[in-house]
Amino acid sequence: MWGEYERKWPPSERPPVDTSADPPGSWRADRDRYLGRADNARVEAACDRIAELERDKITPAMRRVESQDPDRHLTGFDYRLKGGDRIKEKVCDMMQEFADFSPEDAISIVPDTIRYTFGYREAHYTQGVWSDIERMKDQGFELHKIKNSWSSDHYKGVNSQWIEPDSGQRFEVQFHTRTSFEAKQLTHDAYERLRARQADKFEQMVLEAFEAKVAAEVPVPSGAADIPDYPERAADAR
């Protein structure tokens, strides 16, 4: 199905953003995203601090959590740090939405500048998730949010957000089976195109149908759909 999509809508390179009139040290992306030299330097300094925290404090603790159960592992580990350009896009979006936000305010609430994924066997999944949540708390991390998407038509898995208390740094941990992780990877390009709002209504319908078809093929581990959100959503929430 994805091959059919690419034949109809072959991937096209995004035209380069014109930065010829911008001062040195500034940054610009599409959709009028722009950081002047001073703000760009502040974001890059914040990214350096995040990378240092990841290297010296958060990842060693996550490795300790990983070592406590040889039946599962951290997957996609090389991609645990979000790219600088994507962080800057999110910072710009937040600063456009909230006029009083500084670059530091904006980057402090990006939940996935650092991201980890635990991968489990289906039979071990639900108990493994519960155990790893407790192990992360034992490492001193504060649970901020859990979103269970095993009942979703478009994405299967559990995403959680955590806070390293000494620094206040947020990071994301995803809990997947091998199949749900592969489904996430397979639909990533579709997700990104929908997120960027580049598709017209018909293409959007095709992309959403592709996501739904892939998600429907992912087996749901026993008990996975019953892992509660945190904070829990109201019964009529969507």
- Residue ranges of domains in the chain: 2-8+28-226
- pTM exceeds 0.85 for this model: yes
Q: What is the mean pLDDT of residues 113-142?
A: 98
Per residue in 169-224, pLDDT tens? 999 999 999 999 999 999 988 887 777 776 778 888 888 888 999 999 999 999 99
Backbone angles phi, psi at 217, to 5 degrees: -85, -5
pLDDT at 174: 98
pLDDT reading at 237 higher than 60:
no
* CATH fold for domain 2-8+28-226: Beta Polymerase; domain 2 (3.30.460)
Where do runs of H (alpha helix) occur along the chain? 2-8, 37-53, 59-67, 84-97, 103-108, 125-138, 178-186, 188-195, 201-216
Per residue in 63-121, pLDDT tens? 999 999 999 999 999 999 999 999 999 999 999 999 999 999 999 999 999 999 999 99
CB-CB neighbours of 178 under 10 Å: 14
Cβ atoms 86, 100 nearer than 8 A: no
